[in-house]
Each structure stands twice: as structure tokens, then as C-alpha cells.
Structure 1
């Protein structure tokens, strides 16, 4: 092929920090508390259900929107948790992970010069997808050590060009959750507009200390304009299966499905059949908050005598640690040194902030075996 220069659709987009740190963790044989995945196995019962589905012949294309019995189980789950009914036929779609659900939702609605409000720090797939579709990210920084939303600033950012606002609760990377008051403030801002709400709720079942997940589905005035994205991989310890879903009113889902069809058409068949059976027992997801809170508490107890400061995570399986009492290094530099010299991989939070603002914070994933957390804590306590 003749050597030519092609114009990039995403100039300036760098390799994901998750890919970088995980590769370095492998290269240096470091403990990997960077990328968000468990290092323990998914439930043997769920794996048996996948094998059974394969043996039963569920190995060809499933329906594009997803296996009907799985969509029905998702509908039942949402009704039981949030009191909102979604029609399995027209309002629920199974996707190739939550990232594909987010991609399809943004691509379906964002046109050139449309504005999308993004709360920073933010998961790093939002803005590239907005830009790829010709949209303009409007960034708003969450405030302080507790990552509060300034709703007055959000309201001021709304313009005639605003097509969408993206929220994420429980929040990656901070581990914070939006409260009932937050959702009410958001509802006020969106009232009387045609703005679409894209709600990233992949950690919905990982909520700690008796707090409540305030899903957009719980609020009728939000649900009528919301596309809610979720992840089985995050929930059931199998991120590599890349299976998620989204729910939305039929008028919105109709457009999302158009993108879904041309992007992936359908999602792995035997996993869908297995998840449908597995969801019949609500304890499989209701028990997760206690399971992960125990992980969080173990990790924080192990590092309580370290020089890191922190506020316990409200949800997700991430914990932010502040290292300002240890070094004044740039967080990326400190994260790299911690990995190379001490053998522990983390994620520097600045990469998610506006202008890569450095607040001396690293994100650690505690979805790990107790043994792994103990080894990681030993390193952190030496610093």
C-alpha cells in the first residue's frame, strides 16, 4: 500500500491509562490494583450454566436485542429494586459490555456541534465517543476531596446546544454515589428540556454502609428521558465475558438499537442464557454489597497505619488514596515509581480531571483476593 497520511478522527487521544498500567504491571510482575477487574473466579454455578447453555445448542446468533428470557429477568429485577417497569420487547437491549451500551447511546443521538455535559473525573470512553460523533464535551469538575457536584454550575452549562448529560453513580474513579438530593437537583435542571440523560450505573450493586443506589430508573421524570447502562461483568466477576445491557423508553431505545445492530448485531448467546437463569435468584446480586464492603474494610484496615489519607468509598470496588503526606510528585510519576520500584500498580486520578489537575490521588481496585490485598497493603505501609 502506498505510504499516505490519513487524518485521524480522534487526534490527541492517547492509549487508555488502564491499558498502560496493566501492561506495565505485567512487564514488571507487579501486583495489579490498577485496572478494574477481580482476580478471583466467577461463581462455579454460573460457569456451569454457560456450559449447559452451550451443550443445549445456544451457540448461534441470538436475537439482536438479546435473549428474551434475559430481558424479562432484567425487567423483573428493575421493578423489584427501583419500581420502574421496562418492556422487555422494546425497552431493554443486551450489549457487548456497558461500554458498547454507552457508545451506542452517544452515537445514536449526538450530532455535529451538539454539546454533552460530562462530570469530571470521568470514565475515559465518554469524551472520545462524543468527539467521534462531532459533539462537544462540556466538562464540569467535581468539587473537593468528596467529589461533590455543583448543580448550579451544571445548570449554568446547559444551553440550546445541550443534547445530553452523562452521570455515573456509583462513580468511577472516586467511589462516591449520587444522593436523592442530587437526583432531585438534576431533575429540576432537566425539567422542560429535551436533554437526554445517559446514566452509567455499572456498579449499581456495589453500595456500602447501608446507603442506597439512586438509579435514574427510580425517578419517573428522569426515567422518561434516561438511557441507563449496566454491566453483568462488573456485577458477577467476569469482565472478560463483555456482557451488559441498557434500558430506556421505547422511543429512545429504537434509535440505540439501530447503532447496536450495525456495531455488533448481537451478543454472546450462551452467556445470555446463563445469566437469565442466574438472575432468578436475587441473592446473587443482593449479597454483593456486603461482599465488597468486607473487601474495602479489609483493605482500609490493613493500611490504617500508613501515611495515606482517605475517605472510605461509598460504592464501586475502588478506593481513592491521597499521598500528599508521602511525596509532592506528580501523581502519574508517583504511580509509575510505585509500580516499577515497589511492584504495585494503581491508577493516577489526574488523567480523568480537567486539564489533568493533580490532587495527589491514586485509585486502587480492591476486587482482589485477601492475599493480594495483604501484599499490596504491606507495600503501601512501607512508604
Structure 2
């Protein structure tokens, strides 16, 4: 029988996050600090509107680009938060999560062989989506000494005449790193000088703990070069609702809408009505969730310092990225032993790129009680490792 599979899809490796947690899910008494999902329920007003939309029979297709009412609210929201104006009719698309928007943007912007600059460690979807779009991923290693921020020096040796897109994954998953306006300005200048486009994944923009999030699209000359991707999963605690969006130049969005039309048709209708309610009335709940995450972040940083575990202070998302290099183990080995010996599940840094070696991703999208219990086990584990080293 002829091989039924594409060589391209077979070459793509499965997610390192899911592979690891398939093991953890089969164990008892495991405290998981690995999944990037809010532990808060979706705010009640959002849930209520979703239920109401079903009761009213709003179960039909929307337009391919999404409800105009939602697109309008998104554009108002982005004007308030990142200070960039978009046309809801021509420059806005509602997607099935932010991940669909990443896939659409890459497939609509790349011709075979064109290169995409992918800063790593970063979200696991960028690389396989680039490959599936027939692009060439070019890894840009973010450095611990720079707090995993992207710098022009990181880019200089990576750009070629084939480079077309720079992915900007900030606030960053898995490191929690953010980019300030001062950090972004030289990057924007570099992008213009090399005539590049930017896919700016801002799914964690609501979760910034050091001033307001700054989008590269807000800098001079960048709006027409940038696709801004965001969604409701993280900031509004709506992961299962599967709703994202993207905004950008009409020439790109027109093609993204066309591909979305053929592949998806439209995002879930009741999720769209629910999101309208969230944007209009749930800002206070988003702020309260951010305050709770920040409390947990500060707790983790305090505890890491107390137990002597090296970790730069992250100011975005809901992750910390501590170094475990002192133990002379790979990230995979450390995480595996921690899981089996102490029943604490974290993600090896290498799940987010080879340069994540020597680090772990720990999510603090969990209650303080769970975090305290997990850190007690983690401290016991590293004390045992230090004792082994001192024998």
C-alpha cells in the first residue's frame, strides 16, 4: 500500500508539553504546575451571555470574519489598550483561538523557502506552523542574561535576503519575559531597515505586571507591517471557548479571511456573543485575576530566592522559568525525576526549543495552596539533589 502520510507532517514533532503530561495524568496525587490555563472560572456575565445566546437560538453561522458587533468592540478595546486603530470591517478577523490566527498569517504571507525568525524559548506552535506553511524557521536564541528579551544583536546574524517575517512572542510563554517600549524601538527600526513583517502574538497582553503592555504595532511605521494576534483564553479565562482574533493591514487580512472561510467558516457563534459581554463589562474581573496572578508570581520569586534556586524576575504571562543548571541534569531528566519522586509536574524548558535546556517552565495559574504544596515538594527534591552532589 502507498504511504498515506505527508513527509512534511511526519517530520513535525508532537508537543513536548502534551507528551510529558500524558504521563502525569496517569499518576495519582500529582500536583501539576504545567498547563498554561487559568484556574479561574470564566466570569459569570460572560457565561451567562453564552447561555442566553443558546436560549435565544443564536446557533447559526456568523459572517466569515465574525460578528461585526464583536469586531467593533475588539477595535475599541485595542484603541484603549495598545493605542492602535483598526477598521472592524476590513482589518479584523475572529478566529478559533489565537493559534488559528498564527497558522493563517503564516500560510497567507509565506511563499516556499521564505524564512521566519522565531525567537526561542517560545510557544510550541510557531515552528510547526512555519514548516506546514512551507516556510523556513530560523531560530533566534533568547538569552538568560538579557532576561529572555529580544535584541537587535540577536537578529543581526540571522537575517538574510530570504527573511520575511519576525515572530514577536511577548509577553512570552514560557519565560514570562516582556518587552518595553524602549526594548521594542530598536527592533522596529531593524524590521523597517530589512523590510520585514511582524506577527505579534499578544495573547498574554492583559497579564503584564510592570506597567501597561506595549505592542510593537503602536510604534511609528509598524502598524502597516504587523499582524496583531490576541484572544480571550488567558486574560478572560476563556480557554475552552476557543476564541481569538487578529488585526492588521487589509491586504493581508483579506487573504486570511479567505483561507479561514475555506478551512473553518466562522468561529463559534455563542463564544462570539459571550466575548462581546466580556469586552464591555468584565474589565474589573480581568484586573482582579491579574492581581491574583501577580500575588502568586511574587510568592514564587520569594520562595525561589529563599531556597537558592536561580530565576530572573518575569513580568508577564503566568510563568516562571527557573534555572536548574546547578544540578548538572538535562531539563527532561530533572522534570522526570521530580514527577516520579515528588509527584510534581512541570515542563522541561526544551519543550520550547533547544535553548530552553537547563530551565523549567512552572505555571502559577494555580491556587496559592497548590503552589505552596508543590514548592514544599520541589524544595525537598533540590535539597536531596544538593546532598547527592556533596557526597
Task: Establish whether TM, by shorter chain, passes 0.5.
Answer: yes
Quick one: distance in 1 between partners of 2:246 and 2:58? 22
| Structure 2 residue aligned with 1:360 | 358
1:287 offset after TM fit, Å? Answer: 4.2
SS of the residue 1:117 aligns to: strand
| Structure 1 residue aligned with 2:38 | 38
| Structure 2 residue aligned with 1:372 | 370
1:217 offset after TM fit, Å? Answer: 2.9
Q: Any stretches of 5+ residues in structure 2 without a counterpart?
A: 382-391
Instruction: Please give the residue correspondences for 1:154-165 in structure 2 after superposition, counting only pairs within 5 Å.
Output: 154-165=155-166
Query: Is the CA contact 1:344–1:376 (under 8 Å) kept in the aligned structure 2?
Result: yes
Query: Is the CA contact 2:120–2:355 (under 8 Å) kept in the aligned structure 1?
Result: no
Quick one: distance in 1 between partners of 2:53 and 2:356? 48
Query: Is the CA contact 1:306–1:380 (under 8 Å) kept in the aligned structure 2?
Result: no
Query: Is the CA contact 1:123–1:352 (under 8 Å) kept in the aligned structure 2?
Result: yes
- Superposed CA deviations along residues 281-300 of structure 1, whole A, max 9, x for unmatched, are 33343444323211212333
SS of the residue 2:164 aligns to: strand
1:303 offset after TM fit, Å? Answer: 4.5
Query: Is the CA contact 1:108–1:258 (under 8 Å) kept in the aligned structure 2?
Result: no
Moved more, 367-376 or 189-198: 189-198
Query: Is the CA contact 2:15–2:351 (under 8 Å) kept in the aligned structure 1?
Result: no
1:342 offset after TM fit, Å? Answer: 1.0
SS of the residue 1:171 aligns to: coil
Query: Is the CA contact 2:309–2:324 (under 8 Å) kept in the aligned structure 1?
Result: yes
| Structure 2 residue aligned with 1:66 | 66
Quick one: distance in 2 between partners of 1:3 and 1:340? 42
Quick one: distance in 2 between partners of 1:156 and 1:3? 42
- Superposed CA deviations along residues 80-121 of structure 1, whole A, max 9, x for unmatched, are 122211111111111111100100000111111111111111
Quick one: distance in 1 between partners of 2:193 and 2:349? 35
SS of the residue 2:200 aligns to: strand
1:258 offset after TM fit, Å? Answer: 1.7
- Is 1:93 the equivalent of 2:93? yes
| Structure 1 residue aligned with 2:186 | 185
1:341 offset after TM fit, Å? Answer: 1.7
Quick one: distance in 2 between partners of 1:301 and 1:57? 50
Moved more, 298-307 or 133-142: 298-307
SS of the residue 2:280 aligns to: coil
| Structure 2 residue aligned with 1:13 | 12
| Structure 2 residue aligned with 1:340 | 340
Q: Any stretches of 5+ residues in structure 1 without a counterpart?
A: none
- Superposed CA deviations along residues 255-281 of structure 1, whole A, max 9, x for unmatched, are 111221122111111111011022113
Query: Is the CA contact 1:42–1:238 (under 8 Å) kept in the aligned structure 2?
Result: yes
1:31 offset after TM fit, Å? Answer: 1.4
SS of the residue 1:285 aligns to: helix
- Is 1:313 the equivalent of 2:314? yes
Moved more, 46-55 or 33-42: 33-42
| Structure 1 residue aligned with 2:384 | none
Query: Is the CA contact 1:278–1:284 (under 8 Å) kept in the aligned structure 2?
Result: no
Instruction: Please give the residue correspondences for 1:84-123 in structure 2 after superposition, counting only pairs within 5 Å.
Output: 84-123=84-123
Instruction: Please give the residue correspondences for 1:287-306 in structure 2 after superposition, counting only pairs within 5 Å.
Output: 287-306=288-307
Quick one: distance in 2 between partners of 1:288 and 1:205? 10
| Structure 2 residue aligned with 1:269 | 269
Quick one: distance in 2 between partners of 1:215 and 1:200? 9
Change (3 A) 1:234 1:72: same
Name the one with the larger helix percent.
Answer: 2
- Superposed CA deviations along residues 28-87 of structure 1, whole A, max 9, x for unmatched, are 132111121123322222211211111122112111111111111111111112221111
Quick one: distance in 1 between partners of 2:240 and 2:225? 30
Normalised by the length of structure 1, the TM-score is 0.93
Instruction: Please give the residue correspondences for 1:188-203 in structure 2 after superposition, counting only pairs within 5 Å.
Output: 188-203=189-204
Normalised by the length of structure 2, the TM-score is 0.91
